[in-house]
């Protein structure tokens, strides 16, 4: 394990500036992810033609999920790179890979133009994005944790998730403007690409921000940085912590993708609300998500991670299905907003707490790799699978509230993992350190 030196490394000059520069890449990633979910119907028609709308939509969400399966690969490969070379350089590399994937999807010709090459190109773009995203969230969370002030780690790391909400807010605004200024047919045919082009335009700005990042004092203080093989071995040795960390993160990822990526589709195709209604709800959810994340992080800094995690997971387990059942019985804009606000509260407070908890339970010398792998597995196997799972559950069961079962399952896993991690008042990492 890496040792820390007794000398004092350079301190971060401006923590607010460092937070903004570190989270800028999160903005780009989530901006594109949300657009893919919101315009899933248009993307399905453009790249994945099928016999019926549901089949095309499942194809589009399937590709969305396949891209996420690259997250664990990126977590291990790029996580090892960041743990060895440094937080700053690693975050610049992940941004470059993510940018390529964004450009590929934005400019890909339709199926009508180039045939089967179109879905293949879109899939490649999603694979690149997933590979990068596998470590982007973990890399940023670790960076924020390592520049945090004493007693405020949860509050600092929560801004990793908050930055994603800004992306959703901006994407929602763009989508709302497009729906107001352009006919629905034009948006479905080609207008949906405009927000993706906007994402391409802001890439150079984010690169400039990332290049000005300072390395974290914690990384500079390490006398020895592990080699890639040492990182892989350490990650394998700590598989139990990684799996439990994944289980803790599942409720964050499933709830997030439900209230952001899937909500527009759910509002339009299941509840039969207007595009404007679905966008407005998503926009307001982004605002409340942004608020609740740091609130959750700050509360967990004061009273501990365990009580917050267990409380929110318990509430989600008890209310997810009943709330959706109440909504689908007689859908209205007001009822959809109320239910989404409830899920936004659950997500924000839980996520703000979970990020700090996950940083703390993984070993410090391979922090980026283990954090990223745990979160990537949660996102790949559960979170980004949520739109597909929700669509499939509704089609298979005929119950429009059935996505609630998926969220309840995630909550149950979170409760089990939190009890296991914090058994006896100490985290797994603390108990193992005492044992050695």
Place of tokens 């080699």: 227
Given this model, what pLDDT does residue 51 score?
63
What is the rounded distance in angstroms from the CA atom of residue 137 to the CA atom of residue 114?
Answer: 34
pLDDT confidence band for 236 (50 / 70 / 90):
confident
* Cβ neighbours for 89, distance < 8 A, ≥ 6 positions apart: 82
* Cβ neighbours for 190, distance < 8 A, ≥ 6 positions apart: none
List phi, psi (to 5°) of 16: -65, -45
Number of helices and strands in the chain (H, E): 21, 0
- DSSP single-letter state for residue 424: G
pLDDT confidence band for 47 (50 / 70 / 90):
confident
Q: How confident is the model over 125-178, as pLDDT tens digits?
A: 888 888 888 888 788 888 888 888 889 999 999 988 888 888 888 887 888 888
In whole angstroms, how far apart are CA 307 and each of 141, 273, 315, 341, 400?
21, 37, 12, 22, 32
CA dihedral of residues 426, 430, 435, 436 (deg, nearest 10): 180
Give the domain ranges of the chain.
15-435
**Under a CB-based contact definition with an 8 Å cutoff, are residues 2 and 225 in contact?**
yes
In whole angstroms, how far apart are CA 255 and each of 320, 329, 373?
10, 21, 19
Whether the per-residue pLDDT at 52 is higher than 70: the answer is no
In whole angstroms, how far apart are CA 275 and each of 38, 69, 258, 260, 413?
10, 30, 17, 14, 34
Structure tokens at 325: 């059942």
**Under a CB-based contact definition with an 8 Å cutoff, are residues 70 and 29 in contact?**
no
Given this model, what pLDDT does residue 427 score?
53
**Under a CB-based contact definition with an 8 Å cutoff, are residues 248 and 421 in contact?**
yes
**Under a CB-based contact definition with an 8 Å cutoff, are residues 269 and 403 in contact?**
no
Class of 15-435 in CATH: mainly alpha
* Residue 222: strand pairing partners: 4
pLDDT confidence band for 433 (50 / 70 / 90):
very low
Which has the higher per-residue pLDDT, 193 or 45? 193
Tell me the mean pLDDT in the region 226-254. Answer: 88
Read off the pTM.
0.79
pLDDT confidence band for 50 (50 / 70 / 90):
low
Q: How confident is the model over 248-258, as pLDDT tens digits?
A: 999 999 999 89
Buried b / exposed e across 275-293, counting CB within 10 Å, b at 16+? bebbbbbbbbbbebbbebb
Given this model, what pLDDT does residue 302 score?
95
Long-range contacts from 394-403, C-beta under 8 angstroms, 24+ separation? 394/270, 395/54, 400/270, 400/271, 400/324, 400/328, 401/321, 401/324, 401/325, 401/327, 401/328, 403/258, 403/262, 403/266, 403/324
């Amino acid at each position: 394990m890496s040792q820390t030196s007794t000398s004092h490394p350079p301190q971060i000059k401006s923590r607010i500036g460092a937070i903004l520069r570190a989270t800028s890449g999160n903005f780009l990633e989530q901006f594109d992810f949300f657009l893919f979910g919101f315009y899933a119907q248009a993307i399905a028609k453009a790249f994945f033609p099928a016999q019926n709308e549901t089949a095309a939509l499942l194809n589009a969400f399937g590709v969305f999920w396949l891209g996420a399966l690259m997250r664990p690969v990126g977590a291990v490969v790029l996580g090892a790179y960041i743990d060895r070379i440094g937080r700053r350089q690693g975050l610049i590399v992940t941004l470059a890979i993510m940018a390529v994937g964004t450009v590929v999807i934005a400019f890909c010709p339709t199926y009508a133009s180039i045939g089967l090459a179109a879905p293949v190109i879109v899939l490649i773009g999603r694979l690149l994005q997933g590979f990068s995203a596998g470590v982007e969230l973990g890399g940023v969370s670790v960076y924020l944790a390592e520049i945090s002030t004493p007693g405020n780690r949860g509050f600092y790391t929560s801004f990793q998730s908050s930055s994603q909400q800004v992306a959703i807010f901006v994407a929602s605004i763009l989508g709302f403007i497009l729906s107001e200024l352009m006919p629905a047919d034009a948006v479905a045919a080609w207008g949906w690409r405009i927000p993706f082009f906007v994402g391409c335009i802001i890439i150079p700005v984010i690169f400039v921000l990332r290049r000005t990042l300072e390395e974290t004092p914690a990384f500079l203080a390490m006398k020895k940085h592990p080699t890639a093989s040492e990182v892989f071995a350490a990650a394998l040795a700590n598989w139990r912590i990684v799996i439990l960390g994944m289980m803790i993160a599942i409720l964050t990822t499933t709830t997030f993708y439900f209230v952001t990526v899937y909500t527009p589709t759910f509002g339009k195709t299941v509840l039969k609300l207007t595009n404007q209604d679905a966008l407005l709800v998503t926009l307001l959810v982004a605002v409340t998500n942004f608020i609740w994340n740091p609130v959750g992080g700050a509360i967990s800094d004061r009273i501990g991670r365990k009580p917050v995690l267990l409380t929110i997971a318990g509430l989600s387990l008890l209310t997810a299905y009943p709330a959706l059942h109440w909504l689908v019985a007689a859908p209205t804009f007001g009822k959809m907003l109320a239910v989404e606000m409830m899920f936004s509260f659950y997500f924000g407070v839980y996520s703000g707490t979970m990020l700090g908890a996950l940083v703390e339970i993984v070993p410090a010398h391979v922090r980026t790799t283990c954090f990223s792998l745990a979160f990537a597995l949660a996102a790949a196997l559960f979170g980004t699978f949520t739109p597909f799972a929700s669509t499939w559950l509704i089609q298979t069961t005929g119950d429009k509230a059935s996505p609630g079962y998926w969220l309840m399952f995630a909550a149950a896993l979170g409760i089990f993992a939190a009890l296991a991690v914090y058994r006896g008042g100490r985290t797994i990492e603390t108990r193992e350190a005492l044992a050695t």
